[in-house]
Amino acid sequence: MNKKGNTVFFKNSPCVTSFAAVCGSKESAGIIGSYADITLQDDMYEESTYEKAECKMLTTAISLAIEKGGYSEGDIDLLLSGDLLNQIISASFAARDYNFPFLGVYSACSTMSESMLLGAMLVNAGYVKKAVAATGSHFASAERQYRYPLELGCTRPPQAQWTVTGAGGCVITDEKKGIKIVNGTMGKVCDFGVTDVNNMGAAMAPADAIIPPYCDFALCGGQSKTL
Amino acid sequence: MTGKTRENYNENYLNYVKTQDPPTQHFKNCAAAFGVGGLICCIGQFIRYMLEFAGLSGDELAGATSIVLIFLGCFLTGLGVYDRIGRYAGAGSIVPITGFANSVTSPAIEFKTEGWIYGMAAKMFTVAGAIIVFGVFSGVLVGLVYFFL
C-alpha cells in the first residue's frame, strides 16, 4: 500500500542529503537565522533590482546545496523549483544557469514542500537519481507583485505578515544517508473565504492544519489562496 | 451556525479568525492621525502665510501652497521618509495633498526598474488612478447639478 488517503509512502526512502539556505537580514535576526548559510548584508544582493536579487539568492542556494553534498552539476538529473513572481520568473532564470532539466512548480507558500514531494516521488520511482528542490522569495518583489509599492505611506494592520527574503534548496537522492523522506501528503485547495490580502496566515492555515493523524510530519504540497 | 453547510463553515472560520486577530488600537491610531494630519495642515498654513508675505494672493496663493506641499510630499517619498510617517500616522498622512503626491511618486519609483515608458510612466497611476477617475467623475456630477440649479 503506497497511498493512504492523500498521503503517499515512499518505499525506497529517498533522502535529503544536502541543503542550503540564503536569507535576508530581518530573517537572520530571528531564531532560524543561525541555520542560514549566507546572510544578505544588503537587500539588493549587489544587483540592480529586487527581482534579480531574488534570482541570485535562488541560484546561490541551489549551487551551495549541490556543493555541500559533494556533487557536481553533472550529477544532478532535475531541478524542481518555483517562486512567487509571475511566470515563476526567478526560478526560470535561475534554471538558465544550469545544464540539467527544470520543472517549474507554482504553489505559493507551499512551493518548497510541493517541490520536495514531487522530487521524492520521482526519486522513489527511479526516474531520477538526484533531484534538487528549491525555492526563493523576496519581500520587496512580493510586495510589488501582490500589494502596494514599498514607498507608499499606507499602514499595515497588526495581523499583516512579511514575505520572507530568502532562498533554500535541497538535494533529494536515492543514496541512503541524510534525512529520509518517509511520506508526503498531497494537499487540497481550501478556500474558507478569507478576502483580506493582509491576512495571509488565516487564508493558509486551513490547508496546513489538515495533517492526517498517522503522520509524524507531513510534506503538504497543497495550498490555499486569498482569492 | 452549525458549521455543516459550506456557508456556515466559512462564516464560522472567519468569525474565529476575527477573535484571533490582534486588536487595532483605534484611539492611538486616531490620535496619531490627528496629530500628524494637523501638523501637515499647520505646515501648509505656514507656507501660505510665507507666500502671502512674499506678495501672492487669491488663486495664485492657493496654487503655490499646493505646489510646495506636493513637492514636499514627493521629495520625502523619494528620500524614503514618507512611508515611515505613513506607517505611524495612517490617514493623517494619506488624506492631505502630500498623501496624493506620495501615491503617485511611490509607484513611479517602484516601477522605474521596468523602464521609463512601460514602467515608470505607464504604472505611475496604479494607486492614484482610482482617485483621479472618481474625482473627475464626481466633479462632473456636481458640475451638472450646479448647471441645472
In this predicted model, what pLDDT tens digit does every residue of A159-217 receive, in sequence order? 888 888 999 999 999 998 889 998 888 877 777 788 887 887 788 777 665 555 555 45
What is the ipTM, given to two decimal places?
0.79
- State whether residue A161 sits within 8 Å of chain B by CB: no
Sign of CA dihedral A64, A70, A73, A78: negative
- State whether residue A152 sits within 8 Å of chain B by CB: yes
Can you spell out the DSSP letters for A153-186? -----TT------EEEEEEEESSS-SEE--EEEP
pLDDT at A110: 85
What is the per-residue pLDDT across B91-124, written as a single tens digit (0 to 9) for each? Answer: 899 888 999 999 999 999 989 888 899 989 999 9
Nearest to B104 by CA among B85, B82, B127: B127
What is the per-residue pLDDT across A26-58, written as a single tens digit (0 to 9) for each? Answer: 888 888 888 899 999 888 888 989 999 999 999
Average pLDDT over residues A127-136: 95
Residues 6+ apart with CB under 8 A from B61: B48, B51, B52
- State whether residue A206 sits within 8 Å of chain B by CB: yes
Longest C-alpha distance within chain B, in Å? Answer: 73
pLDDT band at B45; cut points 50, 70, 90 = very high
pTM, to two decimals: 0.85
Check if the beta carbon of residue A77 is closer than 8 Å to that of residue A129.
yes
CA angle A134, A188, A130 (to 5 degrees): 30
Can you spell out the DSSP letters for A57-105? HHHHHHHHHHHHTT--GGG--EEEEEESSGGGHHHHHHHTT-SS-EEE-
Nearest-angstrom CA–CA distance, B18 and B15: 5
Nearest C-alpha in B relative to A157:
B24
Check if the beta carbon of residue A120 is closer than 8 Å to that of residue A219.
yes
Residue numbers of B between 26 and 65 with CB closer than 8 Å to A: 29
DSSP secondary structure code for residue B22 in this structure: P
Is residue A132 classed as helix, strand or coil in its secondary structure? strand
Other CB atoms within a 10 A radius of the CB of residue B7 amount to 9
Is residue A224 classed as helix, strand or coil in its secondary structure? coil
Give Cα B40 distance to the centre of its chain.
Answer: 13
pLDDT at B5: 65
Task: Supply the Cα-derived Rg of chain A in whole angstroms.
Answer: 18
Mode of pairing for the β-strands spanning A7-9 and A166-173: unpaired
Nearest-angstrom CA–CA distance, A167 and B96: 40
Nearest-angstrom CA–CA distance, A23 and A29: 10
Nearest to A16 by CA among A180, A128, A134: A180
Which amino acid, residue B91? A
Compute the nearest-CA separation of A153 from chain B (Å).
4
Place of cell 456630477: B141
Q: Output the nine-digit C-alpha cell for B33.
A: 492621525
Nearest C-alpha in B relative to A206:
B13
- State whether residue A68 sits within 8 Å of chain B by CB: no
